[in-house]
Chains A and B, each alone.
Chain A
Amino acid sequence: MTQKGGGEPRAVIEVQNLRKTYGPAVAVDGATFEVRAGEVFGLLGPNGAGKTTTIHCISGLLKPASGRVRVAGHDVVREGKAARASIGVAPQELALYEELSAAENLAYWGGVQGLRGTQLKQRIEETLELFGLQDRAREAVKRFSGGMKRRLNFACAVVHGPKVLLLDEPTVGVDPQSRVRLLETVRQQARQGVCVLYTTHYMEEAETLCDRLAIMDNGRLIAQGTLGDLRAVLGERELLTLTGTWEERRIREALDRMEELEVLHFGPEELTLAATDASGRLVRILNALGAAGAEIRGATVRQPSLESLFIRLTGKELRE
């Protein structure tokens, strides 16, 4: 792992005030973050939050409207070719030649990234083994299962040994066995010093895999840090979601009288509260709301997590 003066690993991806617009629509709005060598950085957010657009700007597929993106010390706009030579991308959708075999796909994608001769052959063999595809290496990809295709899609991104790995929701539609294998491979790449930028909307995946995280919504980064940093934002409070019908004014008055309780979202039929020891105080809260005329149909208590943090920050569910 490369160190900056022997201290913290240097930033391999540097994103400063990144902004990308499509006409009047703002897809990414002033995103700033860094990802260091050997680090897995998770970019979390619901569909349409701007995660994929951010990845596309970093990979050079899209040109930012403003801001600056550097990869391995190269500006992705001005020194695009040099920047792209350091990158391996596993796109969200499969990007493979299905008529070709796994080995031929790896040979092609490794070749266009600059590998040749013995080095290319060696890397193909290593990568096939790493992803458990050596037995089907000569078979046309179109005969592979979905999970195998996913693994090969990922393998094509790492065959040339990139410094930066951009993984855009690589586990979507993957069976549990393949998912475990993929996540282990991501960790392995990071251990080898690869800088990994990982987008997902699976919170549990991000919690177990990522060293640092950024939460994105409506094109903006709304929080970033380690998992511990982010949990601290929420504190020890639990998340209580209630469904039912009520009169808003009377319920708000009832809630105002309770201590250590914050209203995160107040809808006509759904109410989200952050409360210390919500599970222990649940009966008291329900009684108070019942006394204020509410008809409660359901109650859910969640422990502090990235999911609850997301709700805390945006007032909405991650999968909305």
Chain B
Amino acid sequence: MRIALLCARKDLLRMARDPVALGVWLGMPVLVAVALLALFGREAPRPHGVLFIADQDGTSLSSLVARAYTQGELGQMIAARAVSVEEGRRRMQAGEGSALLVIPKGFAIAVFGGGRATLELVTNPSQAILPGMLEEITEILADGAWYVQQLVGEDLRRMSELSGRPPDTMIAGFSLRIAHLIDRVGGYVDPPVIDVVRDAPPSEAAGTVPVTSLMFPSMVSMAVLFLAYGYAGDIWREKLAGTLRRTVVTPVSMNQWLGGKLLALGALFGCVGLAALAVAKFALNAAAHHGALVVCWVVVAGLGMHLLMLLLQIAAGDIRTAHVTANITVMTLAMLGGSFFPFEMMPAWLARIGRWTPNGWALVKLRGMLDGSADATGIAAAFGIAAAVSGLLFWWVSRRLRNRFVL
């Protein structure tokens, strides 16, 4: 352990003497985050989805109902597609849409006649946000229809029984009754007797919540990924400077030497974890659960990533190949694994793949720990898996360093 600590001290001193490299690896995530915030704003990215509408009724009322789902800001998130019931069900099975709305034949007659009207809404269980919003809208429509029936149902029923345009006298009478109705309920609605209280966080917090929940863990993940990658390249500096070869002819074992490197980098990752917690708490005013676990996770996941990057570096025959391979890998991992863009900003299929990349998996666990949604069993399993994989990688890297790379 003394030797490993000695090697760690040496590497920490070297890191401290090269603040530019450290600044680049840590500054890059901040730059990317700033760029993304400038691009998308501080609000959470809008989800996008498709609503299939099977309108079997084909009346003005059914058209109005269908349009209600794509009005205002909702229209920027939901694209409505007219389909038959069969096609809608098939495409929902294929996971192509957020929901399928079936407006049955006789819907308008049922609404105007005071009877029972049924709207069928089939939602996609693999999506969380949009289907929920569509359910809410459907419930509002159902409530609205009930109130309309109660207030002006008789007039509507009479008008619907007519064939063709209602006579002017009927329309005038309907207008007068609406005016009297407004006079009667005006005392309640103007000013409103019932105050509607919006249960939403204050405006400052509204901006920080998405940053904390989406961008912030990604920034931490990116910093860890870049540090793991950047310091893996140091193995080539040690080789080309002859210090690795010189180490091999001392009594120090490759395990001790590599262990020292990991201790030094672990300390750095620990600082990153602590800084991340501090930023979350004091700069973003966000709740960060499991503080100690978060720091430990940043260290463990970071060292695992570093060992993976080391393996890539030493598997290459020369420094140029090593850098190209590592560059391609780290950029791909950063893109897919949620380090550049949060999973919520990716297409669902890409996010599904990204969550299984090493950094994507680590990021999912980190978010779980930060927002407090991870349970003890899940956390223990995550640490166990990370430690096992890192142990295997350590053995592999150490062996290859001694037998192949150093010569």
Chain B proximity mask over A77-112: 1 for CB below 8 Å, otherwise 0: 000011011010101011111111000100011011
Pairwise interchain contact A62-B243, C-beta atoms closer than 8 A: no
Contact B243 A112 (CB under 8 A): no
User: Which of the listed residues B14, B249, B407 has the most CB atoms from chain A within 10 Å of its own CB?
Assistant: B249
Give the chain B neighbours of A156 by CB distance below 8 A: 246
- In the assembled complex, A242 has its CB within 8 A of some CB on chain B: no
Contact indicator A87/B242 (Cβ below 8 Å) = no
| A76 nearest in chain B by CB position | B249
A114 to B241 Cα, complex, angstroms:
23
Residue of B nearest to A93 (CB): B242
- Point out the residues of chain A lying under 8 angstroms from B6, CB to CB: 108, 111-112
Q: Which residues from chain B contact A81 at a C-beta distance below 8 Å?
A: 251, 253
Q: Does residue B331 face the partner (Cβ distance < 8 Å to A)?
A: no
Cβ-defined partner of B250 (8 Å) among A100, A109, A116, A140: A109
- Given the interface pairs A62-B407, A104-B13, A111-B6, the reply to whether A84 lies near B241 with Cβ below 8 Å is no
- Judge if A65 is at the interface, Cβ distance under 8 Å: no
Q: Does B271 contact A (CB under 8 A)?
A: no
Whether the pair A61, B407 counts as a contact (CB closer than 8 A) is yes
Is B252 part of the contact surface with A, judged by Cβ < 8 Å? yes
A161 interfacial contact with B, CB 8 Å: no
**What is the minimal beta-carbon distance from B56 to any residue of chain A, in angstroms?**
75
Within 8 Å CB of B407, what residues of A?
A: 61-62
Complex Cα–Cα for A237 and B245 (A): 44
Q: Is A60 in contact with chain B by the CB < 8 A criterion? A: yes
Does A276 make an interface contact (CB < 8 A)? no
**A112 / chain B contacts, CB cutoff of 8 Å:** 3, 6-7, 247, 250-252
A54 contact set on B, CB distance < 8 A: none
Interface size band for A: 20 to 34
Q: Assess whether A89 is in contact with B246, with CB atoms less than 8 Å apart.
A: yes
Residues of A within 8 A of B251 (CB): 81-82, 84-85, 112-114
A59 interface residue per 8 A CB criterion? yes
Give the distance in Å from the alpha carbon of A67 to the alpha carbon of B251 in the complex. 22
The answer to whether A84 and B243 touch (CB under 8 A), given A108-B6, A112-B6, is: no
Minimum CB–CB distance for B267 against chain A, Å: 17
Is B28 located at the chain interface by the 8 A CB criterion? no
Across the interface, do A97 and B249 meet the contact criterion of CB distance under 8 Å?
no
Chain A residue at minimum C-beta to C-beta distance from B247? A112
Cα-based distance from A34 to B400 in the complex (angstroms): 33
B residues 227-247 in Cβ contact with A at 8 Å: 241-243, 245-247
C-alpha spacing A62/B248, complex, angstroms:
10
Q: Would you give the shortest CB distance from B97 to chain A, in whole angstroms?
A: 58
B198 within 8 A of A: no
- In Å, the complex CA distance between A104 and B3 comes to 15
- Expressed in whole angstroms, the Cα–Cα distance for A87 and B250 within the complex equals 8
**Once the chains are docked, how many angstroms separate the CA of A84 from the CA of B253?**
11
- Residue on B with the closest CB to A99? B17
The reply to whether the CB of B158 lies closer than 8 angstroms to some CB of chain A is: no
Check if A91 sits within 8 Å of B246, measured CB to CB. yes
A320 CB, min distance to chain B CBs, angstroms = 27
Nearest residue (CB) in B for A166 is B249
**Which residues of A lie under 8 Å from residue B241 when comparing CB positions?**
94-98
Contact with B along A43-65 (1 / 0, CB 8 A): 00000000000000001111000
Q: Cα distance A96–B10 when bound, in Å?
A: 12
B247: chain A residues within 8 A (beta carbon):
112
Known: A84-B249, A112-B252. A94 touches B10 (CB 8 A): no
Interface residues of A in 114-173 (CB under 8 A from B): 114, 116, 140, 156
* Complex-state Cα separation, A89 to B6, whole angstroms: 20
Determine the chain A residues whose CB is within 8 A of the CB of B406 once the complex forms.
61
Name which residue of chain A comes closest to B6, CB basis: A111
Q: Does any Cβ of A come within 8 Å of B165's Cβ?
A: no
Whether B242 contacts A94 by the Cβ 8 Å rule is: yes
Q: CA–CA, A273 to B251, complex, Å?
A: 50
Q: Which residues of B contact A116 (CB under 8 A)?
A: 2
Q: Is B168 an interface residue (CB 8 A)?
A: no
Interchain CB contact under 8 A, A99 and B245: no
Distance to closest chain A CB from B241 (angstroms): 7
For A96, give its contact among B7, B243, B248, B250 (CB under 8 Å): B243
The answer to whether residues A97 and B18 also contact, given A87-B249, A89-B249, A112-B3 and a CB cut-off of 8 A, is no
Bound CA–CA A25/B15 (angstroms)? 41
* A97, B406: Cα distance in complex, Å: 17
Decide if A61 touches B242 in the complex (CB within 8 Å): no
Bound CA–CA A95/B248 (angstroms): 12
The answer to whether B17 touches A61 (Cβ under 8 A) is no
User: How distant is B268 from chain A, measured CB to nearest CB, in Å?
Assistant: 16
B246 contacts across to A, CB distance below 8 A:
89, 91, 95, 109, 156
Pairwise interchain contact A59-B249, C-beta atoms closer than 8 A: yes
Q: Which residue of A lies closest to B253 (CB)?
A: A81
Complexed CA–CA distance, A108 and B243 (Å): 11
Q: Which residues of B contact A59 (CB under 8 A)?
A: 249
Asked whether A60 and B2 contact (CB < 8 A) given A99-B13, A100-B14, the answer is: no
Q: Contact between A97 and B243 (Cβ–Cβ < 8 Å)?
A: yes
Structural contact, A108 and B10, CB atoms closer than 8 A: yes
Residues of A within 8 A of B250 (CB): 84, 109, 112-113
B14 touches A97 (CB 8 A): yes
Cα(A96)–Cα(B3), bound, Å: 18
A82 to B250 alpha-carbon distance, docked (Å): 10
With a cutoff of 8 Å between Cβ atoms, the chain B residues found around residue A61 in the complex are 245, 248-249, 406-407
- Shortest B236–chain A CB gap in Å is 14
Nearest-neighbor residue (CB-CB) of B403 within chain A: A63
A95 touches B245 (CB 8 A): yes
- CB-based contact A100/B13 at 8 Å: yes
Question: 1/0 per residue B1-41: CB within 8 Å of A?
Answer: 01100110010011001100000000000000000000000
Given contacts A61-B249, A84-B251, A140-B17, contact A95 B242 (CB under 8 A): yes
Q: Can you sample 27 A-B contacts with CB below 8 Å?
A: A61-B245, A61-B249, A62-B407, A81-B253, A84-B249, A84-B250, A94-B241, A94-B242, A95-B246, A96-B243, A97-B10, A97-B241, A97-B243, A99-B13, A99-B17, A100-B17, A104-B13, A108-B6, A108-B10, A109-B250, A111-B6, A112-B3, A112-B7, A112-B247, A112-B250, A113-B250, A116-B2
Contacts beyond the supplied A97-B14, A100-B13, A116-B2: 10 A-B pairs with Cβ under 8 Å: A61-B249, A84-B251, A91-B242, A99-B13, A99-B14, A100-B10, A108-B10, A109-B250, A112-B247, A112-B250
Binding site for B on A (CB under 8 A): 59-62, 81-82, 84-85, 87, 89, 91, 93-100, 104, 108-109, 111-114, 116, 140, 156
List the 5 closest pairs (A to B, CB-CB), nearest first. A95-B242, A99-B17, A95-B246, A59-B249, A111-B6
